[in-house]
Chain A
């Protein structure tokens, strides 16, 4: 069979399996086992077993459970409530301050949590009801929370970065650090957008125009800063130790967990039950992710074995399209697919195909995979399938799913503008990694 037929049939069957509703790991295993049987025969099964073993027996991936555990400890212990109160005090009296609070909190949570879902659910339970009660626009509030939560996978720590870095064989430390400036830039863009909308239409933040929040004294603001200092220690344990070259990303994830434990203890919120539940939740989610990664590994090996990826690279090179057009196409495909399928599953399919293309197009790997990270992150808030949306909706019943869907599009647009800016000015992504 010719290479393009193998590639087309393989990808079509895989996508069909995903959309059928079967667990993603079953879909990968099914295609891989059948593929190996057809292409290599029964002797190839040893390769399937080895691909599963090699994937999960890789210490760098230990950052996944550790980053998840760090967020779990902070959310479950309630330490995050102190951060919430402090940031609330520090945000001044501006029109639409709840939007500012939402985005500021999301940015800080992004530096403490590696997953958007946890942040979205937490903000939906805590901040969102207050925003609605104050007469804030439900659609705009929803969009701000979902967009803000989506900063979590971009600003380190990030579970998605570990997965992309491992699969694409890119420096995980570099990719983690590369997310800092784009994350802050996007937070700034969300702020500018929301405040501009409030200025043009004051009804979007009804109460702030009528009654203002209580005055916070300077002393209270200083106290608020002092109270959040332990969180700065956690951020240092992760980002600081990587930047200083003291620890690898996995080690920094472990020190981040220790920092989260120390913070919970400092606020007298540490107990065995909470620790055990955080362990269980992190191990559960990590197992779920690693089983998918282990089951998918053979797919890329099969593509390589049949020569499909090599031939595809050759065909693309022969097309003679400009690098800009190629970048656009390579970003458009995952953007559309992420509306319908799981981001990790998509990356597991796309990365082995894109890797040789990136080399032939001579793209900077950190820059390209950071753009991909933004792309798949925004996939979490693009309807109809988006985990961040589901997490938010699961935590509140004060808006309909249709409202949530319509709320996300302006912020998806901002994400896309952000991606364009980074595509045009690569140093936004590549400058910090050069300091490592």
Chain B
């Protein structure tokens, strides 16, 4: 049976994945509504741009732990692929360790900023100002959860050499 903490981590990652999809749905709806409203009814919305920018930021970082779990982050791995498996394995381990440390540091930096924004009551200067930490807390979530996924990859026995640490998808 999976350790309860691992189970919780996976379910939170799944939830982030589904909500990340929802955010993209909100972006699609908001801009479609805006175009129709503006050009057919001459009634531009005040909220579409804000909904889109917030959804983009929130969706990106809600989806991030799932991307990390799937080892979907872009990486230039051709040198690692040229290595014999026995040499590549410790390299992958080091990359995962670095991933954990860097994402952990980014988590801490963003958490610190969230607390600062909360204490100083920082608001976003938009048509309808909202506390900044409402949005930026998702960045902290994304890095924190990703750090935990990198931590879980550190189990040396489970490192599979045919699985690249990243680069499964691209975007050119």
Q: Which residues of A contact B (CB under 8 A)?
A: 18-26, 29-30, 33, 45-46, 48-50, 52-53, 56-59, 61-62, 64-66, 68-69, 115-117, 152-153, 159-160, 241, 246-247, 250-251, 253-255, 257-258, 276, 279-280, 282-292, 294-295, 340-345, 376-377, 380, 384-385, 387-388, 390-391
Contacts and interface: CB of A to CB of B under 8 A. Distances in A.
A387 B32 CA distance: 32
B99 A62 contact: no
Main SS of chain A's interface residues? helix
Given A50-B113, A283-B20, A250 B78 contact: no
Contact of A287 (B31, B67, B109, B170): B67
B15 interface: no
Q: Which of A53, A153, A341, A376 lies at the interface centre, i.e. has the most chain B CB atoms within 10 A of its CB?
A: A53
A23 B53 contact: no
Contact of A24 (B34, B35, B70, B76): B76
B169 A284 contact: yes
25 contacts: A21-B75, A21-B76, A26-B73, A26-B95, A30-B102, A48-B109, A49-B112, A49-B139, A53-B57, A56-B56, A56-B57, A56-B139, A57-B53, A57-B57, A59-B53, A65-B24, A66-B28, A250-B31, A250-B52, A254-B31, A254-B32, A255-B31, A280-B17, A288-B72, A292-B74
B25 interface: yes
A117 B172 contact: yes
Contacts of A251: 31, 34-35
B21 interface: yes
Interface in B5-39: 17, 20-21, 23-25, 27-28, 30-32, 34-35, 39
B73 A23 contact: yes
A49 to B, nearest CB: 4
B28 A19 contact: no
B80 interface: yes
A153 B171 CA distance: 9
B43 interface: no
Given A276-B21, A344-B171, A345-B74, 11 more contacts: A19-B76, A21-B91, A49-B109, A56-B56, A57-B56, A65-B56, A160-B171, A284-B72, A284-B169, A285-B170, A289-B171
Nearest to B136: A53
Main SS of chain B's interface residues? helix
**Which 4 pairs show the lowest CB-CB distances between chains A and B?**
A254-B31, A23-B73, A49-B113, A287-B63
B61 interface: yes
Contact of A279 (B21, B74, B80, B166): B21
B39 A246 contact: yes
B28 A344 contact: no
Contacts of A390: 170
Interface string B81-112: 00000000001100100110011011001101
A287 B171 contact: no
A345 to B, nearest CB: 7
Chain B interface bracket (under 10, 10 to 19, 20 to 34, 35 or more): 35 or more
B76 A286 contact: no
Nearest to B29: A254
B77 interface: yes
A117 B171 contact: yes
Contacts of A280: 17, 21
Contact of A115 (B60, B95, B171): B171
Given A26-B102, A45-B109, A46-B113, A62 B31 contact: yes
Nearest to B77: A21
A276 B76 CA distance: 30
B57 to A, nearest CB: 4
B172 A387 contact: yes
Contacts of B53: 57-59, 62
Given A58-B56, A288-B72, A21 B170 contact: no
B116 interface: yes
A79 B99 CA distance: 40
B133 to A, nearest CB: 10
Contacts of B59: 65, 283, 286-287
A69 B28 contact: yes
Q: Which of A56, A250, A287, A295 lies at the interface centre, i.e. has the most chain B CB atoms within 10 A of its CB?
A: A287
A117 B99 CA distance: 27
B64 interface: yes
Contacts of A376: 172
B144 interface: no
A290 B34 CA distance: 24
A279 B24 contact: yes
Contacts of A115: 170-172
B28 A254 contact: yes
A203 B56 CA distance: 52
Contact of B75 (A22, A58, A257, A258): A22
Contacts of B60: 56, 286-287, 290-291, 294
A45 B163 CA distance: 34
A201 B116 CA distance: 71
B105 to A, nearest CB: 6
A295 B57 CA distance: 13
B93 to A, nearest CB: 12
Contact of B110 (A52, A62, A380): A52
A342 to B, nearest CB: 6
